[in-house]
Amino acid sequence: MDTNALPLLLTIALALVLILWLASGPLLQRRRRHRLRAQAFPQAWRRILRRRVPLAQRLPADLHLRLKQEIQVFLAEKPIIGCDGLVVTDEMRVTIAAQACLPLLGARRDYYPKLKQILLYPGAFMVDRPVTEAGGVLREQRRALAGESWVQGQVLLSWRDVQAGAADPSDGHNVVIHEFAHQLDQAKGHANGAPVLADAQAYRRWSTVMQNEFDALRARLAQGEPGLIDTYGATDPAEFFAVCSELFFERPLDLAMQHPALYGQLSSYYRLNPIAWQ
């Protein structure tokens, strides 16, 4: 063999090994997830679902089964880390995972691929945010939050608020659904209230309906008129999508009656009809 050709052959061999390794990754992941879904759902986790997540009990049998399967994959892939001295228990993990997986039940989406970890605090946590004051002066303002979703791959949650959101599945407020709606929105690298959709036509329909509803909310608030959609939804289109997602899962009939076009877009995106669960 020509010794001059040896480096080239080694480079080609290494490249082939790398290609094979990269190609095997998705296949191994699918097999691992299939095994996780096939495992028996732990009895202790069933009791947690019944006690902590009453919304899960409304699901039809096929979706309830799928929820349990998705929980097992989610918890195997997404670490939940306690902060401020909080010791994370299975009760916390299952309660969070069940609510985080609800938006995944209709469409075959990945498990929040950009999410690396969930940081769980005992209660509301403090964050510093830049605020522009009169005259254009920028300063840091400290705020207490129940949840936050970062593009960089983290969701921050308050356990106290997670429990409260899960306990009443009809109040339209659920911090886990809210923050994981942000994760869906952020899957493209930024949040603008438009998650990844099928095609350009779907984006046009989404944009028209969501912008009209967002503008209508702001107009109602300017007139001091109450409504179904929480005032926080008027912050920006990203928060509007997250707030409306809470209503979609927890107060679907009210949302459909008062905002039928909005409900239709969310139902088409999530490929679910929560009205049938009532």
State whether 64 and 161 are in the same domain.
yes
State whether 176 and 208 are in the same domain.
no
**Which residue, 137, 153, 182, sits at the end of a domain?**
182
State whether 152 and 198 are in the same domain.
no
State whether 140 and 72 are in the same domain.
yes
State whether 120 and 163 are in the same domain.
yes
State whether 260 and 154 are in the same domain.
no
Which CATH number covers residue 61?
A: 1.10.472.150
**Which residue, 147, 182, 217, sits at the end of a domain?**
182
State whether 95 and 59 are in the same domain.
yes
**Which residue, 129, 162, 182, sits at the end of a domain?**
182
Q: What percent of the chain has pLDDT over 70?
A: 86
The reply to whether 2 falls in a domain is no
State whether 40 and 70 are in the same domain.
yes
pLDDT tens for 170-196 read 999 999 999 999 999 999 999 999 999
Q: Give the pTM.
A: 0.87
Indicate whether 44 pLDDT > 60.
yes
Question: Angle CA(115)–CA(120)–CA(125) in degrees, nearest 5?
Answer: 110
The reply to whether 187 falls in a domain is no
State whether 123 and 47 are in the same domain.
yes
Of 79-93, 118-132, 145-159, 160-174, minimum mean pLDDT range: 118-132
* pLDDT interval class at 91 (50, 70, 90): very high
Domain total of the chain: 2
* pLDDT interval class at 121 (50, 70, 90): very high
- Find the domain containing 51 and state its range: 33-182
Q: Encoding tokens for residue 163?
A: 């429990």
State whether 52 and 170 are in the same domain.
yes
The reply to whether 3 falls in a domain is no
What is the structure's pLDDT at 10? 67
